[in-house]
Copies of this chain bind each other. A is one copy, B any other.
């Protein structure tokens, strides 16, 4: 499947060098095919770029299907169960951000966030949207003191703690005095992340 091979390579190159910085010649060469096959399969550089966004959205949906399962029938849960599920979801996000696999597509997404194009719209509509509303419905049970229209804000602040592990990876490594985050550092970060999240979710009533 030449299309998938081109997309995988392109996500890496676009993420690393940006849309203009990446070259279709290099992408084709690294995929062991001719540059013109990009035109054939995707219509051109722009088409390949959008195909990358769709591919990432699909992978995200797939990877976070277990998380989404935990947001089902949220309205029937008591507060403790909702908190427990949110802790599990945050930890899954953290594991994703820590995982090697996220390196390539995270670069792509973070880039799009800075200067959103049509590709961001596809990422949001194709994956992020469902996660945000799912987490929002759990937050509504966990923190009934927060007005409905502020749940999205709270979700993003929670999510920020995991996002930083990718979006500011270079600084995180400096802060930990390491050159990369492996099993030991990851476990420590997740431990603090869990206790932070628990502290946040337990608040608002006392």
Contacts and interface: CB of A to CB of B under 8 A. Distances in A.
A1 interface: no
A175 B155 contact: yes
Interface string A142-183: 000010011011111101111111011111101111000000
A111 interface: yes
A168 B157 contact: no
Interface in A179-202: 185, 188-189, 192-193, 195-196, 199-200, 202
Interface of A: 15-22, 106-107, 110-116, 120, 124, 128-129, 132, 146, 149-150, 152-157, 159-165, 167-172, 174-177, 185, 188-189, 192-193, 195-196, 199-200, 202-204
Q: Which one of A107, A167, A176 has the greatest number of beta carbons of chain B within 10 Å?
A: A167
Contacts of A165: 160
Contacts of A170: 112-113, 116, 120, 124
B168 A164 contact: no
A167 B166 CA distance: 10
A203 to B, nearest CB: 4
A167 B156 CA distance: 11
Please classify the interface of chain A as helix (H, G, I), strand (E, B), loop, or mixed, using the class held by over half of its residues: helix
Contacts of A107: 114-115
B153 A157 contact: no
Contact of A199 (B124, B132, B175, B203): B203
A131 to B, nearest CB: 10
Nearest to A116: B170
A192 B20 contact: no
Given A189-B153, A199-B200, A171 B128 contact: yes
29 contacts: A15-B114, A16-B115, A17-B18, A17-B19, A17-B20, A17-B21, A20-B20, A110-B110, A110-B168, A113-B167, A113-B168, A114-B167, A124-B170, A124-B171, A128-B171, A146-B192, A152-B175, A153-B176, A153-B185, A155-B175, A156-B175, A157-B164, A157-B189, A159-B164, A160-B160, A160-B164, A160-B168, A163-B168, A167-B167
